[in-house]
Amino acid sequence: MRYTPDELMTVAAARCVGNDDVCFVGIGLPSAACNLARLTHAPEITLIYESGTIGARPSVLPLSIGDGELCATALTTVPVPEFFRYWLQSGRITAGFLGAAQIDRFANINTTVVGAYDAPVVRLPGAGGAPEMAAACQRTFIVMPQSRRAFVERLDFLTSLGHGDGGDHRARLGITTAGPAKVITDLCVMEPDPQTRELTVTSLHPGTARADVESATGWTVRFAPDVGDTPAPTAHELEVLRRVRLDTDKAHEGREPACPTR
- Give the footprint of other proteins on residues 20-49 (CB under 8 A): 20, 22, 27-28, 46
| From 7, 44, 50, 153, active-site residue | 50
Task: Using the minimum distance from each CB to other proteins, give the nearer residue, 70 or 204.
Answer: 70
Q: Give the total residue count for the chain.
A: 262
Q: Which distant-in-sequence residues (6+ apart) come within 8 Å of 237 by Cβ? A: 11, 14, 36, 40
Q: Which is nearer to other proteins, 60 or 227 (CB)?
A: 60
Q: Which of 120-128, 141-149, 194-202, 210-218 is the region at the interface with other proteins (rule: CB under 8 A)?
A: 120-128
* Residue 154 contacts other proteins per CB under 8 A: no
List the interface residues with other proteins, window 220-259 (CB under 8 A): 251-256, 258-259
196: Cα separation from own chain's centroid = 22
Has 50 been annotated as catalytic? yes
- Hey, which residues between 165 and 184 contact other proteins (CB under 8 A)? 173-174
Q: Which CB, 41 or 169, lies closer to other proteins? A: 169
Residues 121-140 that bind other proteins (CB under 8 A): 121-132, 134-136
Q: Does residue number 72 form part of the binding site for other proteins (CB under 8 A)?
A: yes
Enzyme catalytic residues = 50
